């Protein structure tokens, strides 16, 4: 939000930001030198997709199995990072792509650690796992 506000002012104007949450029903009163610039209530961000939504669920039950399901999953990833960028560790494209490459190199370890068979050939599900893992892989 600060970037949007600062972008509207000339370079010689100093803008400071103080993020304050007002918990209803108590309103937040402004001090004499303060102004509201942006006030908006956002809906809760969507939960990021994960191949294991429930520890008791079969590992691949809710995973993308078709190209269409993978496309929907990718749309959900885009929605998640736009709505809640703090939910991702790798928020820049270079960081995300580096994490994707690193996880791809190390994917045998993921499958072995989860007592799953390492895939011999790529699948829509494997692509989804790779894309999801890159959101937080270091």
Q: Give domain limits for the chain.
A: 67-133
pTM above 0.75, yes or no: no
Residue 103 CB-density burial (10 A; 0-12 exposed, 13-18 middle, 19+ buried): buried
Rounded Cα gap, residues 129 and 104, in angstroms: 10
Tally the C-alpha atoms within 13 A of residue 115's C-alpha that lie toward its C-beta.
2
pLDDT in tens, 18-49: 676 666 667 777 778 777 665 555 555 555 54
Collect the ranges in the chain with pLDDT lower than 70.
1-6, 18, 20-25, 36-63
């Amino acid at each position: 939000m600060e970037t949007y506000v600062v972008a509207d002012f000339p370079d010689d104007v100093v803008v400071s930001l103080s993020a304050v949450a007002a918990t209803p029903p108590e309103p937040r009163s402004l001090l004499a030198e303060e102004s509201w610039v942006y006030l908006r209530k956002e809906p809760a961000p969507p939960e990021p997709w994960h191949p294991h939504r429930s520890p008791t669920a079969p590992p691949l039950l809710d995973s993308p199995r078709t190209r269409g399901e993978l496309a929907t999953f990718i749309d959900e990833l885009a929605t998640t990072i736009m709505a809640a960028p703090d939910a991702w560790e790798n928020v820049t494209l270079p960081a995300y792509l580096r994490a994707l490459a690193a996880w791809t190199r190390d994917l045998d370890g993921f499958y072995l650690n989860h007592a799953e068979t390492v895939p011999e050939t790529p699948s829509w599900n494997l692509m989804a796992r790779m894309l999801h893992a890159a959101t937080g892989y270091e």
